[in-house]
Amino acid sequence: MRRLFSVCVAVMFALGAVASVQAADNLVLATGGTAGTYYPFGGAMAKIWGAKVKDLNVTAQTSGASAENVRLINKKEVELALVQSDTLDFAFNAKEAFKEPLKAMSAIAVLYPEIIQVVVRADSPIKSFADLKGKKVGVGAPGSGTEANFRQLMDIYGLKKEDVNPQFLSFAESADAFKDKHIDAFIVTAGIPNAGIMDVSTQHEVRILDISADMATKLTQKYPFLAVAKVPANTYKGQTAEVSTVAVNAVLIAGNHLKEGLVYNMTKALFENQADLASAHAKGKELSLQNAVKGVSIPYHPGAVKYYKEKGLMK
């Protein structure tokens, strides 16, 4: 009997150990291309969560960025994603390329502004966005948030679809095509400085197109998820003057199926370890608790809401 009891205890201990291993949460965070900001920033967040949240492992995964990411979340192929605020709005409300509403997702936090940057050669005759007529332009991956931003600019500047020769390229592909003079310009919607633009500026002198105040006003009135923004002087090599433009927000989202307690712990760890995030990636300095709950049109995850209520940011 005593031997049988010992065997039972051993079996129960083994099962408990297995259950403990299985209890660990292994999550995938969909980011973007390797030349963008999402992938390295996502990796920095994943490292913090792995270190600060018990039994949690998050893997940052490359992807086609915003549009693909919301679809991956809604198919439950990933648990977390980084998405532009405009694409998030389009997906949730079945606008633009989204024919049906995608609502199996919720926001965790606004992370930082993503600035729309239209890049040309420093000696290019292209002086404004309107001058892109008849030019070959890298407009972002098909269906991406960057491509949507390009179409919004086309609309405000009165350009028709056939006026521009669009090249549907990722940031890295656009940078390579630009260096080889296969395209005249390319657009990047990302945090600054952007790796793709920095890469190009080491070989070619570049210029970021300015969006005038009146055009920015028209843009933000028609597309309220956009906001006026600046690219500070010397952000890129040879860029000596400040550039006026517009921006969207980078938003961290989660699948609605994630448990409240887990998302609460992740939200708390993110803001309580901002110094570590800022050390790991420059965009971490822009993470703001006050701004985390502004500029998102979809509901927040209950776990994030619980944290923001504790901080007095939500009622």
- What number does CATH give the domain 22-112+251-310? 3.40.190.10
Query: Tell me: the pLDDT tens digits for 158-177?
Result: 999 999 999 999 888 999 99
pLDDT (0 to 100) of residue 160: 95
Query: Tell me: the pLDDT tens digits for 248-261?
Result: 999 999 999 999 99
Which residues lie across from 114 on neighbouring strands?
Answer: 248
Q: pLDDT class for 284, splitting at 50, 70, 90? A: very high
Over range 306-313, report the average pLDDT: 97
Q: pLDDT class for 301, splitting at 50, 70, 90? A: very high
Q: Which residue has the higher pLDDT, 19 or 7?
A: 7
pLDDT (0 to 100) of residue 17: 39
Q: pLDDT class for 210, splitting at 50, 70, 90? A: very high
Structure tokens at 266: 């992740």
> How confident is the prediction for the chain on average, in pLDDT?
90
pLDDT (0 to 100) of residue 255: 98
- Whether the per-residue pLDDT at 2 is higher than 70: the answer is no
Structure tokens at 97: 């390329």
Q: What is the dihedral of CA 214, 244, 81, 303, to 10 degrees?
A: -80
Domain ranges of the chain: 22-112+251-310, 115-248
Over range 66-75, report the average pLDDT: 95
pLDDT (0 to 100) of residue 21: 36
In sequence order, which residues have a C-beta less than 8 Å from that of residue 303 and are 6 or more positions away? 108, 254, 258, 259, 260, 261, 262, 263, 264, 265, 266, 267
- Whether the per-residue pLDDT at 7 is higher than 80: the answer is no
Distance of CA 273 to the CA centre of its chain: 20
Would you mind telling me the total number of residues written for the chain in this entry? 315
Q: Which string of DSSP letters, residue by residue, matches 87-102?
A: HHHHHHTT-TT-SS--
Q: How far apart are CA 309 and CA 293, in angstroms?
A: 11
pLDDT (0 to 100) of residue 143: 78
Q: How far apart are CA 95 and CA 280, in angstroms?
A: 36
pLDDT (0 to 100) of residue 106: 98
Q: pLDDT class for 59, splitting at 50, 70, 90? A: very high
- Whether the per-residue pLDDT at 5 is higher than 50: the answer is no
- Whether the per-residue pLDDT at 23 is higher than 90: the answer is no
Of 208, 222, 252, the C-alpha closest to 152 is 222
Q: Considering just the CA atoms, what is the radius of gyration of the chain in Å? A: 22
Q: How far apart are CA 160 and CA 68, in angstroms?
A: 26
| pTM score over 0.75 | no
Q: pLDDT class for 155, splitting at 50, 70, 90? A: very high
pLDDT (0 to 100) of residue 9: 44
- Whether the per-residue pLDDT at 191 is higher than 70: the answer is yes
- Quick one: 115-248 is in which CATH superfamily? Periplasmic binding protein-like II (3.40.190.10)
- Three-state secondary-structure class, residue 124: coil
- Whether the per-residue pLDDT at 11 is higher than 80: the answer is no
Helix (H) or strand (E) holding 176: helix 171-179
Structure tokens at 63: 């992807």
- Whether the per-residue pLDDT at 190 is higher than 90: the answer is no
